[in-house]
Amino acid sequence: MRVKRMARKKTQRRASYVESTLVNDEAIYSLGTLHWAILVEPIFFTVLGMAGITLMLRWSHLAESNQAWLMVLLLPPLGMLQSLIYFLTTESAVTNSRVLLKTGWISRMTDEIALSKVESILMKQGIIGRIFNFGNVVVLGTGGNKVIVRGIADPMQFRSTVHELAMSVK
């Protein structure tokens, strides 16, 4: 498999974190995208939690006497909000010199490993991940550094790109 360099698009949109941190002669070879399936579990538990709380309040006298139950009803969507923010704000990429991951909206967390320092690449896919083609990729570097991309779509392609570029750098 020959890794192809991605062409830069000439648009007026705001540059992503990955694009804004590129240095001279650095090119993006692969952008990792998160798979929609990582939102299924938080949605399920949010709906289940809200249904359970609604039934509990309906059978109790708390709903009649106190408006504090509104706060309790807002708790399940907070977990969903956290997952949605992760889904919308995570960027991962493989360039010709490094593997990088950025997560966060208000607070930002970044991880990166130089391709010359990559020791191994791990991939984990469960049964559902195999069916819908998503999983986790862990890039381990020398000195114990690691980049963990959770819920990435097409993890085999991302892993293969990292592997091929890391081999060409060494």
Per-residue pLDDT of the chain (170 residues; tens, 9 = 90+): 566 666 555 555 566 888 888 888 889 999 999 999 989 988 898 888 878 777 777 776 655 555 556 666 677 788 888 889 999 999 999 999 999 999 998 899 999 999 999 999 999 999 999 999 999 999 999 988 899 999 999 999 999 999 999 998 86
Name the architecture of domain 17-34+90-169: Roll (2.30)
Q: Is the dihedral of CA 97, 102, 107, 109 positive or negative?
A: negative
- What pLDDT is recorded for position 62? 57
* Cβ–Cβ < 8 Å for 139, 123: no
Instruction: Look at the block and give the residue holding tokens 């049964």.
Output: 127
Say what the pLDDT of residue 72 is. 64
Quote the CA–CA distance of 49 and 26 in Å, as a whole number: 46
What is the per-residue pLDDT for 67? 59
pTM of this structure: 0.77
pLDDT given at position 55:
77
Distance CA(28)–CA(135), nearest Å, equals: 21
Provide the pLDDT for residue 119. 93
